[in-house]
Amino acid sequence: MATLFQPPAILSNSNIYEVNIRQYTAEGTFNAFAKHLPRLKEMGVEIIWLMPIHPIGTVKRKGVLGSYYSIKDHEAINPEFGTATEFTALVTAAHALEIKIILDWVANHAAWDHVWTRADPLFFTRDAAGNFTPPFDWDDVIQFDHSNAAQQVAMKKAMKFWINTFDVDGFRADLAHLTPLQFWKDARTELTPLKKDLIWLAETEEISYHEAFDISYTWEWMHATEKFIRKEISLQDCVNVLAKYKNAFPENASRLFFTSNHDENSWNGTEYEKYGLYAKAMAVFSCTYPGIPLVYSGQELPNRKRLQFFEKDKIDWEKEIALQEFYRKLLSLHKTSNAYRSGSVSISENFIEKNIFAYTLAGEADVVAVILNLGETTVKETIVMEKLIGPFCDLFSGETAELKGQYEFSGEAGDYVVLEKYLPTE
């Protein structure tokens, strides 16, 4: 498959932090969230994805506050979050810290009372009686008519508005595959001249959508690992998914790895519900396997509750942010190691049957080795991997050792080790 666009250089070793403005603070505003920017910078966050910040429809609204994805106006700001001036200040503050801001973009559907339903009703699909129709059973939104060329022009105009007015750095496309690929290709072609290195993240695993997007989701991996934890499939089955990713996707396709996001947290459970005592080990994987790690609002606490989707349900930042340093170390490694720019991954097949997942990522000089005990018992194993030669440092303990092709791993169920090759000082 041909890739039409050059991915931004930052994506080779960057990360994304998803922000739920409504639930992030008691105030639920841009100004309140902005106070967290220095902390997120210190944690190593480079790209912030803001869930939709548009006004929410009132017709057929679910709950008190409604769904962020039931958008009433694609060129306006939800007044609950703040003003245009306050949003500008948030973007400016993020940029001052060299943090990029991308917007959640919903191109497939809109609120029943979207401004276009009055101005341009032909932008939406209709039933035989001429009534607007929802996609699937999502009865709080209505379906855009993607065959309407004027609708697609208006949608691209709205995307340009956020770049020209607020200097945003890209888009996360909600359910990208429900909108025709050609729209996204045209949008990227038209928007790229407005700002260099826009970031394009697609919520999809449709391989062809990499013709328009840099980053896609890894739903299949996440669902496979959930099944593995429930003992429904083997670790080898999970590794086979990674092999599929490697062989089927374009070489420069970036994949987004995560243990949680807004949908997972609210509807399917927190990472602790899904993975139990393996939650941190799976987070280590998401941050150390080739790809782009995603951290959702509050995972650094960690947040152990499902956030309500249609109501106010704030994250409790008054507690100790216990995993701030955990993520800082992982994101820093992902950023600084050259292994993530041009390295190749090698998975140790010898220990998969024992539910030990061990792999190395090696560039010309840099090597990162990861060992995860995904079994149910404490293990002591000699992990043999050809790249484990030279001086290595344990990312979390700080201990160093000269390795000769193997590592003596000892760990309880859910334990993990991350080793980084380093250049010893004289």
Q: Determine phi and psi for 247, rounding to 5 degrees.
A: -90, -30
Instruction: Please report the pLDDT score of residue 424 as a whole number.
Output: 63
Strand partners, 49: 18, 102
181-211 pLDDT tens trace: 999 999 999 999 999 999 999 999 999 999 9
Read off the pLDDT of each residue in 282-298 and give the average, rounded to a whole number.
97
5-28 pLDDT tens trace: 999 988 989 999 999 999 999 999
Confidence band for 161, pLDDT divided at 50, 70 and 90: very high
Running DSSP on this structure, what letter comes out for residue 91? H
Q: Which residue has the tokens 């994949």?
A: 255
Instruction: Give the integer Cα–Cα distance in Å for 395 and 378.
Output: 21
Read off the pLDDT of each residue in 72-80 and give the average, rounded to a whole number.
98
Summary mean pLDDT of the chain: 96
226-253 pLDDT tens trace: 999 999 999 999 999 999 999 999 988 9
* SS3 (DSSP) at 403: strand
The string of DSSP codes covering 102-147 is EEEE--SEEETT-HHHHH-GGGB-B-TTS-B--STT-TTEEEB-TT
Asked if the model's pLDDT at residue 2 lies above 60, the reply is no
Q: Which helix (H) or strand (E) holds 31?
A: helix 30-34
Instruction: Please report the pLDDT score of residue 382 as a whole number.
Output: 97
Instruction: Please report the pLDDT score of residue 281 as a whole number.
Output: 98
Nearest to 307, CA basis, from 259, 280, 35, 299? 299
Angle between helices 84-96 and 149-166 (to 10 degrees): 60
Instruction: Please report the pLDDT score of residue 203 as a whole number.
Output: 98
Confidence band for 275, pLDDT divided at 50, 70 and 90: very high
Asked if the model's pLDDT at residue 341 lies above 90, the reply is no
Instruction: Give the integer Cα–Cα distance in Å for 34 and 79.
Output: 16
Asked if the model's pLDDT at residue 3 lies above 80, the reply is no
Asked if the model's pLDDT at residue 46 lies above 80, the reply is yes
304-313 pLDDT tens trace: 999 999 999 9
Asked if the model's pLDDT at residue 343 lies above 90, the reply is no
* SS3 (DSSP) at 348: coil
* SS3 (DSSP) at 300: coil
387-403 pLDDT tens trace: 999 999 999 999 999 99
Confidence band for 365, pLDDT divided at 50, 70 and 90: confident
Instruction: Give the integer Cα–Cα distance in Å for 222 and 276.
Output: 14
Asked if the model's pLDDT at residue 282 lies above 80, the reply is yes
